[in-house]
Copies of this chain bind each other. A is one copy, B any other.
Amino acid sequence: MQVSFTQADIAAIAAPIRTVGATTEVIRGIASLGSAKAGDISFLGNPKYRPAVASTHASIVLLPPDYAGKPGPNQVHMVVDNPSVALARLCSRVEQTLWPRPAPGIHPTAVVAPGASVAASATVGPLCVVEPGARIGEGAHLQSQVFVGRGSAVGRDCWLMPGVVICAECTLGDRVRLHPGVVVGSDGFGYEFVSGRHEKVPQVGTVVVGDDVEIGSNSTIDRSRFERTVVGEGTKIDNLVQVGHNVVIGRHCLICAQTGIAGSVTLQDYVVVAGQVGIVGHLTVGTGAMIAAQSGVKDDIPPKTSVWGTPSLPLLLAQKISILKNRLPELFKRVEALEEKAGGKRKARKG
Protein backbone atom coordinates (compact mmCIF):
# COMPACT_ATOMS: atom_id res chain seq x y z
CA MET A 1 0.00 0.00 0.00
CA GLN A 2 1.20 3.48 -0.73
CA VAL A 3 -0.08 5.72 2.01
CA SER A 4 1.05 9.01 3.37
CA PHE A 5 -0.33 10.54 6.56
CA THR A 6 1.03 13.35 8.71
CA GLN A 7 0.61 13.34 12.47
CA ALA A 8 -2.23 15.80 11.98
CA ASP A 9 -3.94 13.50 9.46
CA ILE A 10 -3.78 10.63 11.93
CA ALA A 11 -5.13 12.76 14.73
CA ALA A 12 -8.06 13.77 12.57
CA ILE A 13 -8.92 10.12 11.94
CA ALA A 14 -8.17 8.64 15.38
CA ALA A 15 -9.60 11.54 17.41
CA PRO A 16 -7.29 10.98 20.39
CA ILE A 17 -8.28 11.87 23.98
CA ARG A 18 -4.77 13.18 24.45
CA THR A 19 -1.50 13.20 22.54
CA VAL A 20 2.00 13.04 24.02
CA GLY A 21 5.09 13.84 21.95
CA ALA A 22 5.51 14.82 18.33
CA THR A 23 7.04 13.35 15.19
CA THR A 24 8.27 14.78 11.92
CA GLU A 25 7.93 11.39 10.21
CA VAL A 26 5.33 10.95 7.53
CA ILE A 27 3.38 7.76 8.22
CA ARG A 28 3.77 5.33 5.32
CA GLY A 29 2.97 2.00 6.93
CA ILE A 30 1.09 0.13 9.67
CA ALA A 31 2.95 -2.46 11.68
CA SER A 32 2.85 -4.46 14.89
CA LEU A 33 4.78 -3.03 17.83
CA GLY A 34 7.67 -5.46 17.44
CA SER A 35 8.27 -4.95 13.73
CA ALA A 36 7.42 -1.26 13.31
CA LYS A 37 10.11 1.15 12.21
CA ALA A 38 10.30 4.91 11.82
CA GLY A 39 7.47 6.03 9.56
CA ASP A 40 5.06 3.37 10.82
CA ILE A 41 2.02 3.66 13.03
CA SER A 42 1.36 0.88 15.55
CA PHE A 43 -1.14 0.16 18.33
CA LEU A 44 -1.61 -1.68 21.60
CA GLY A 45 -4.59 -4.00 21.09
CA ASN A 46 -3.88 -7.19 23.03
CA PRO A 47 -2.70 -6.31 26.60
CA LYS A 48 0.00 -9.00 26.48
CA TYR A 49 2.00 -6.78 24.11
CA ARG A 50 2.09 -3.91 26.66
CA PRO A 51 5.83 -4.35 27.37
CA ALA A 52 6.55 -3.97 23.64
CA VAL A 53 5.33 -0.38 23.61
CA ALA A 54 8.40 0.96 25.37
CA SER A 55 10.78 -0.48 22.78
CA THR A 56 8.78 -0.01 19.56
CA HIS A 57 10.28 2.10 16.79
CA ALA A 58 6.86 3.16 15.50
CA SER A 59 6.56 6.90 15.00
CA ILE A 60 2.98 6.97 16.26
CA VAL A 61 1.45 4.49 18.75
CA LEU A 62 -2.26 4.27 19.48
CA LEU A 63 -2.72 3.47 23.18
CA PRO A 64 -5.56 2.81 25.61
CA PRO A 65 -6.43 5.37 28.32
CA ASP A 66 -4.70 3.40 31.10
CA TYR A 67 -1.28 3.33 29.43
CA ALA A 68 1.20 5.31 31.50
CA GLY A 69 4.58 5.29 29.67
CA LYS A 70 6.23 8.15 27.81
CA PRO A 71 7.08 8.29 24.10
CA GLY A 72 10.66 8.23 22.84
CA PRO A 73 12.24 11.00 20.82
CA ASN A 74 10.44 11.85 17.57
CA GLN A 75 7.60 9.53 18.69
CA VAL A 76 3.94 10.17 19.45
CA HIS A 77 1.61 8.43 21.90
CA MET A 78 -2.02 8.97 20.94
CA VAL A 79 -4.40 7.85 23.68
CA VAL A 80 -7.76 6.72 22.34
CA ASP A 81 -10.79 4.92 23.77
CA ASN A 82 -10.15 1.76 21.78
CA PRO A 83 -6.89 1.44 19.83
CA SER A 84 -8.23 -1.45 17.70
CA VAL A 85 -11.22 0.53 16.59
CA ALA A 86 -9.09 3.62 15.92
CA LEU A 87 -6.76 1.52 13.81
CA ALA A 88 -9.67 -0.02 11.91
CA ARG A 89 -10.87 3.51 11.13
CA LEU A 90 -7.44 4.33 9.73
CA CYS A 91 -7.40 1.08 7.75
CA SER A 92 -10.77 1.94 6.21
CA ARG A 93 -9.17 5.13 4.93
CA VAL A 94 -6.26 3.14 3.52
CA GLU A 95 -8.69 0.70 1.92
CA GLN A 96 -10.19 3.50 -0.11
CA THR A 97 -6.79 4.26 -1.58
CA LEU A 98 -6.19 0.56 -2.34
CA TRP A 99 -9.51 0.15 -4.08
CA PRO A 100 -10.79 3.54 -5.16
CA ARG A 101 -14.45 3.66 -6.07
CA PRO A 102 -14.53 3.00 -9.82
CA ALA A 103 -16.32 5.30 -12.20
CA PRO A 104 -19.81 4.11 -13.08
CA GLY A 105 -20.44 2.60 -16.46
CA ILE A 106 -19.99 -0.47 -18.58
CA HIS A 107 -16.50 -1.24 -19.85
CA PRO A 108 -16.43 -1.53 -23.64
CA THR A 109 -15.11 -5.09 -23.42
CA ALA A 110 -17.93 -6.28 -21.14
CA VAL A 111 -20.68 -8.35 -22.74
CA VAL A 112 -24.01 -7.16 -21.39
CA ALA A 113 -27.02 -8.82 -23.00
CA PRO A 114 -29.74 -6.57 -24.40
CA GLY A 115 -32.27 -7.93 -21.92
CA ALA A 116 -30.12 -7.18 -18.86
CA SER A 117 -30.51 -4.08 -16.70
CA VAL A 118 -27.54 -2.24 -15.24
CA ALA A 119 -28.19 0.68 -12.86
CA ALA A 120 -26.75 4.03 -13.85
CA SER A 121 -24.37 4.17 -10.89
CA ALA A 122 -23.17 0.58 -11.26
CA THR A 123 -19.77 -0.38 -12.68
CA VAL A 124 -19.38 -3.35 -14.99
CA GLY A 125 -15.65 -3.88 -15.44
CA PRO A 126 -13.64 -5.33 -18.28
CA LEU A 127 -14.55 -8.71 -19.76
CA CYS A 128 -17.58 -9.26 -17.54
CA VAL A 129 -20.62 -11.11 -18.88
CA VAL A 130 -24.16 -10.19 -17.86
CA GLU A 131 -26.81 -12.46 -19.33
CA PRO A 132 -30.36 -11.56 -20.38
CA GLY A 133 -32.72 -10.72 -17.56
CA ALA A 134 -29.94 -10.11 -15.03
CA ARG A 135 -30.25 -6.95 -12.92
CA ILE A 136 -27.27 -5.06 -11.52
CA GLY A 137 -28.18 -2.64 -8.70
CA GLU A 138 -27.14 0.95 -7.99
CA GLY A 139 -23.52 1.32 -7.02
CA ALA A 140 -22.77 -2.36 -7.62
CA HIS A 141 -19.28 -3.20 -8.88
CA LEU A 142 -18.53 -6.16 -11.11
CA GLN A 143 -14.78 -5.77 -11.06
CA SER A 144 -13.42 -7.87 -13.90
CA GLN A 145 -14.13 -11.16 -15.70
CA VAL A 146 -17.28 -11.65 -13.60
CA PHE A 147 -20.24 -13.71 -14.84
CA VAL A 148 -23.85 -12.96 -13.87
CA GLY A 149 -26.31 -15.47 -15.29
CA ARG A 150 -29.74 -15.21 -16.79
CA GLY A 151 -32.32 -13.69 -14.47
CA SER A 152 -30.00 -13.16 -11.50
CA ALA A 153 -30.12 -10.04 -9.36
CA VAL A 154 -27.16 -8.24 -7.80
CA GLY A 155 -28.17 -5.75 -5.09
CA ARG A 156 -27.03 -2.19 -4.38
CA ASP A 157 -23.37 -1.57 -3.66
CA CYS A 158 -22.36 -5.21 -4.08
CA TRP A 159 -18.73 -5.90 -4.98
CA LEU A 160 -18.04 -8.96 -7.12
CA MET A 161 -14.31 -9.46 -7.53
CA PRO A 162 -12.51 -10.94 -10.53
CA GLY A 163 -13.68 -14.34 -11.69
CA VAL A 164 -16.86 -14.50 -9.59
CA VAL A 165 -19.61 -16.62 -11.15
CA ILE A 166 -23.30 -16.14 -10.35
CA CYS A 167 -25.35 -18.81 -12.12
CA ALA A 168 -28.88 -18.27 -13.39
CA GLU A 169 -31.78 -17.04 -11.26
CA CYS A 170 -29.84 -16.28 -8.06
CA THR A 171 -30.33 -13.23 -5.87
CA LEU A 172 -27.77 -11.19 -3.95
CA GLY A 173 -28.89 -8.62 -1.39
CA ASP A 174 -27.25 -5.24 -0.88
CA ARG A 175 -23.58 -4.67 0.00
CA VAL A 176 -22.66 -8.30 -0.66
CA ARG A 177 -18.91 -8.77 -1.15
CA LEU A 178 -17.78 -11.82 -3.08
CA HIS A 179 -14.06 -12.56 -3.32
CA PRO A 180 -12.36 -13.88 -6.45
CA GLY A 181 -13.50 -17.23 -7.76
CA VAL A 182 -16.66 -17.51 -5.65
CA VAL A 183 -19.37 -19.60 -7.34
CA VAL A 184 -23.00 -19.02 -6.41
CA GLY A 185 -25.69 -21.27 -7.82
CA SER A 186 -23.88 -24.30 -9.21
CA ASP A 187 -25.92 -27.50 -9.16
CA GLY A 188 -26.42 -29.41 -5.94
CA PHE A 189 -25.01 -32.93 -5.84
CA GLY A 190 -28.05 -35.13 -6.39
CA TYR A 191 -28.47 -38.37 -8.31
CA GLU A 192 -30.79 -41.37 -8.35
CA PHE A 193 -29.23 -44.77 -8.91
CA VAL A 194 -31.16 -46.31 -11.80
CA SER A 195 -30.10 -49.41 -13.76
CA GLY A 196 -26.50 -49.24 -12.61
CA ARG A 197 -26.05 -45.55 -13.36
CA HIS A 198 -26.32 -42.33 -11.37
CA GLU A 199 -29.09 -40.36 -13.08
CA LYS A 200 -28.99 -36.63 -12.44
CA VAL A 201 -31.72 -35.10 -10.31
CA PRO A 202 -32.15 -31.69 -11.91
CA GLN A 203 -31.37 -28.83 -9.56
CA VAL A 204 -33.86 -26.14 -10.45
CA GLY A 205 -34.02 -24.16 -7.24
CA THR A 206 -32.03 -21.03 -6.54
CA VAL A 207 -29.71 -19.28 -4.07
CA VAL A 208 -30.65 -16.23 -2.06
CA VAL A 209 -27.82 -14.30 -0.39
CA GLY A 210 -28.82 -11.69 2.20
CA ASP A 211 -27.58 -8.15 2.74
CA ASP A 212 -24.05 -7.56 4.03
CA VAL A 213 -22.88 -11.10 3.38
CA GLU A 214 -19.20 -11.64 2.55
CA ILE A 215 -17.93 -14.84 0.92
CA GLY A 216 -14.24 -15.77 0.62
CA SER A 217 -12.23 -16.80 -2.42
CA ASN A 218 -13.18 -19.93 -4.34
CA SER A 219 -16.03 -20.84 -1.99
CA THR A 220 -19.02 -22.56 -3.58
CA ILE A 221 -22.73 -22.21 -2.80
CA ASP A 222 -24.96 -24.74 -4.55
CA ARG A 223 -28.47 -23.98 -5.76
CA SER A 224 -31.25 -26.02 -4.20
CA ARG A 225 -32.97 -28.96 -5.82
CA PHE A 226 -36.08 -26.80 -5.86
CA GLU A 227 -36.88 -23.98 -3.41
CA ARG A 228 -33.89 -21.98 -2.14
CA THR A 229 -30.44 -22.27 -0.65
CA VAL A 230 -30.14 -19.31 1.74
CA VAL A 231 -27.23 -17.35 3.25
CA GLY A 232 -28.67 -15.01 5.86
CA GLU A 233 -28.01 -11.32 6.34
CA GLY A 234 -24.65 -10.35 7.78
CA THR A 235 -23.17 -13.85 7.60
CA LYS A 236 -19.46 -14.06 6.76
CA ILE A 237 -18.00 -17.06 4.96
CA ASP A 238 -14.26 -17.67 4.59
CA ASN A 239 -12.33 -19.20 1.65
CA LEU A 240 -12.89 -22.63 0.07
CA VAL A 241 -16.11 -23.31 1.95
CA GLN A 242 -18.72 -25.64 0.46
CA VAL A 243 -22.41 -24.97 1.06
CA GLY A 244 -24.63 -27.76 -0.26
CA HIS A 245 -28.05 -27.54 -1.87
CA ASN A 246 -31.05 -26.53 0.24
CA VAL A 247 -28.86 -25.36 3.10
CA VAL A 248 -30.35 -22.49 5.08
CA ILE A 249 -27.80 -20.37 6.93
CA GLY A 250 -29.15 -17.82 9.39
CA ARG A 251 -28.10 -14.26 10.09
CA HIS A 252 -24.70 -13.14 11.38
CA CYS A 253 -23.00 -16.52 11.29
CA LEU A 254 -19.23 -16.96 10.87
CA ILE A 255 -18.03 -19.91 8.81
CA CYS A 256 -14.29 -20.46 8.62
CA ALA A 257 -12.20 -21.79 5.76
CA GLN A 258 -12.63 -25.19 4.16
CA THR A 259 -15.77 -26.07 6.08
CA GLY A 260 -18.30 -28.20 4.24
CA ILE A 261 -22.04 -28.07 4.93
CA ALA A 262 -23.98 -30.93 3.37
CA GLY A 263 -27.40 -30.62 1.82
CA SER A 264 -30.49 -29.39 3.69
CA VAL A 265 -28.65 -28.38 6.84
CA THR A 266 -30.11 -25.46 8.80
CA LEU A 267 -27.82 -23.12 10.69
CA GLN A 268 -29.79 -20.73 12.85
CA ASP A 269 -28.49 -17.23 13.67
CA TYR A 270 -25.10 -16.34 15.19
CA VAL A 271 -23.62 -19.78 14.65
CA VAL A 272 -19.80 -19.89 14.60
CA VAL A 273 -18.16 -22.69 12.62
CA ALA A 274 -14.37 -23.02 12.78
CA GLY A 275 -12.18 -24.29 9.93
CA GLN A 276 -12.41 -27.66 8.16
CA VAL A 277 -15.64 -28.66 9.87
CA GLY A 278 -17.99 -31.09 8.14
CA ILE A 279 -21.73 -31.09 8.84
CA VAL A 280 -23.83 -34.06 7.74
CA GLY A 281 -26.98 -33.39 5.74
CA HIS A 282 -30.42 -32.51 7.13
CA LEU A 283 -29.22 -31.38 10.59
CA THR A 284 -30.10 -28.25 12.55
CA VAL A 285 -27.48 -26.20 14.37
CA GLY A 286 -29.09 -23.96 16.97
CA THR A 287 -28.70 -20.22 17.45
CA GLY A 288 -25.35 -19.20 18.89
CA ALA A 289 -23.84 -22.68 18.71
CA MET A 290 -20.08 -22.99 18.19
CA ILE A 291 -18.38 -25.83 16.33
CA ALA A 292 -14.64 -26.25 16.90
CA ALA A 293 -12.16 -26.87 14.08
CA GLN A 294 -12.16 -30.15 12.13
CA SER A 295 -15.30 -31.38 13.87
CA GLY A 296 -17.55 -33.87 12.13
CA VAL A 297 -21.13 -33.07 13.10
CA LYS A 298 -23.69 -35.84 12.68
CA ASP A 299 -26.41 -34.82 15.13
CA ASP A 300 -28.43 -31.68 15.71
CA ILE A 301 -26.71 -29.15 17.94
CA PRO A 302 -28.82 -27.31 20.53
CA PRO A 303 -28.62 -23.51 20.70
CA LYS A 304 -25.65 -21.96 22.51
CA THR A 305 -23.80 -25.27 22.67
CA SER A 306 -20.11 -25.68 21.87
CA VAL A 307 -19.02 -28.95 20.30
CA TRP A 308 -15.84 -30.58 19.06
CA GLY A 309 -14.63 -33.84 17.59
CA THR A 310 -15.61 -36.48 15.07
CA PRO A 311 -18.34 -37.29 15.77
CA SER A 312 -18.74 -34.07 17.70
CA LEU A 313 -19.51 -33.99 21.42
CA PRO A 314 -20.05 -31.15 23.89
CA LEU A 315 -16.76 -29.27 23.99
CA LEU A 316 -15.72 -29.98 27.59
CA LEU A 317 -16.50 -33.67 27.28
CA ALA A 318 -14.66 -33.88 23.99
CA GLN A 319 -11.61 -32.22 25.54
CA LYS A 320 -11.72 -34.60 28.52
CA ILE A 321 -11.93 -37.64 26.25
CA SER A 322 -9.13 -36.27 24.07
CA ILE A 323 -6.88 -36.00 27.14
CA LEU A 324 -7.82 -39.47 28.40
CA LYS A 325 -7.17 -40.93 24.95
CA ASN A 326 -3.63 -39.61 25.15
CA ARG A 327 -3.27 -41.49 28.45
CA LEU A 328 -4.10 -44.86 26.87
CA PRO A 329 -0.48 -46.08 27.09
CA GLU A 330 -0.65 -45.51 30.84
CA LEU A 331 -4.06 -47.13 31.14
CA PHE A 332 -2.93 -50.27 29.33
CA LYS A 333 0.00 -50.53 31.74
CA ARG A 334 -2.26 -50.08 34.74
CA VAL A 335 -4.59 -52.82 33.56
CA GLU A 336 -1.64 -55.08 32.94
CA ALA A 337 -0.38 -54.45 36.46
CA LEU A 338 -3.80 -55.32 37.87
CA GLU A 339 -3.86 -58.50 35.85
CA GLU A 340 -0.48 -59.53 37.16
CA LYS A 341 -1.49 -58.79 40.70
CA ALA A 342 -4.67 -60.80 40.23
CA GLY A 343 -2.48 -63.69 39.22
CA GLY A 344 -4.61 -64.41 36.23
CA LYS A 345 -2.79 -65.91 33.31
CA ARG A 346 -3.39 -64.15 30.05
CA LYS A 347 -1.97 -64.43 26.62
CA ALA A 348 0.88 -62.09 25.78
CA ARG A 349 -0.26 -59.20 23.67
CA LYS A 350 1.75 -57.02 21.41
CA GLY A 351 1.78 -53.25 21.96
Interface residue tally for chain A (C-beta within 8 Å): 115
- Contact with A180, one of B94, B186, B197, B238 (Cβ below 8 angstroms): B186
Within 8 Å CB of A15, what residues of B?
none
Q: List A residues 292-351 near B (Cβ within 8 Å).
A: 293-294, 296, 310-311, 313, 317, 320-332, 334-335, 337-339, 341-342, 344, 346, 349, 351
Within 8 Å CB of A256, what residues of B?
189, 262
Indicate whether A169 sits within 8 Å of B98 (C-beta atoms), given known contacts A111-B109, A293-B278, A296-B293.
yes
Quote the shortest CB–CB distance from A259 to chain B (angstroms): 9
What is the CA–CA distance of A200 and B85 in the complex, to the nearest angstrom?
11
Assess whether A202 is interfacial by the CB under 8 Å rule.
Answer: yes
Copies of the chain in the assembly: 3
Assess whether A59 is interfacial by the CB under 8 Å rule.
Answer: no
What is the CA–CA distance of A258 and B276 in the complex, to the nearest angstrom?
9
> Which residue of A126, A183, A332 has the most chain B CB atoms within 10 A of its CB atom?
A183
Q: Interface residues of A: mostly helix, strand, loop or mixed? A: loop
What is the CA–CA distance of A341 and B340 in the complex, to the nearest angstrom?
12
Flag if B311 contacts A85 (CB, 8 Å): no
Within 8 Å CB of A150, what residues of B?
98-99
Quote the shortest CB–CB distance from A297 to chain B (angstroms): 10
Quote the shortest CB–CB distance from A103 to chain B (angstroms): 13
Flag if A31 contacts B226 (CB, 8 Å): yes
Flag if A189 contacts B257 (CB, 8 Å): yes
Indicate whether A220 sits within 8 Å of B217 (C-beta atoms), given known contacts A109-B111, A344-B337.
yes
Interface pairs (21), CB distance under 8 Å: A29-B227, A31-B226, A35-B227, A91-B225, A98-B150, A98-B204, A99-B150, A107-B111, A109-B111, A127-B145, A147-B180, A181-B181, A187-B216, A189-B216, A216-B220, A240-B240, A320-B351, A324-B332, A330-B349, A338-B338, A338-B339
